[in-house]
Amino acid sequence: MKFVPEIIQVRKGDIIEWVNKDIVPHDVTEINKKWTSKTLNKEDSFSKKITTNFDYFCSIHIVMKGSVHIKE
């Protein structure tokens, strides 16, 4: 019931892929709800090209939080 790693550091333009390794469904939702993934069941994935820093959470389990930081 957590994102691993919780903080992701990437270069601008990199693509992140989140994969649900848990037995329950999750999603990936930008903190201000600008975008969200579909519900991810076990082994489902969601990819996003990174253009900016942002925080995110699972809207199904709101204690799950993470952030993406672009390396300078």
* pLDDT on residue 72: 79
Tokens (6 digits) for 1: 């019931």
Q: ∠18-46-21 over CA atoms, to 5°?
A: 45
* pLDDT on residue 49: 98
CB 46 within 8 A of CB 69: no
C-alpha 31: how far from chain center:
10
Give strand pairing partners of 10.
70
Question: Which parts of the chain sit beneath pLDDT 50?
Answer: none
Q: What is the pTM of this model?
A: 0.94
Instruction: Say if domain 7-70 classifies as CATH 3.40.1280.10.
Output: no
Phi and psi, residue 19, nearest 5°: -125, 130
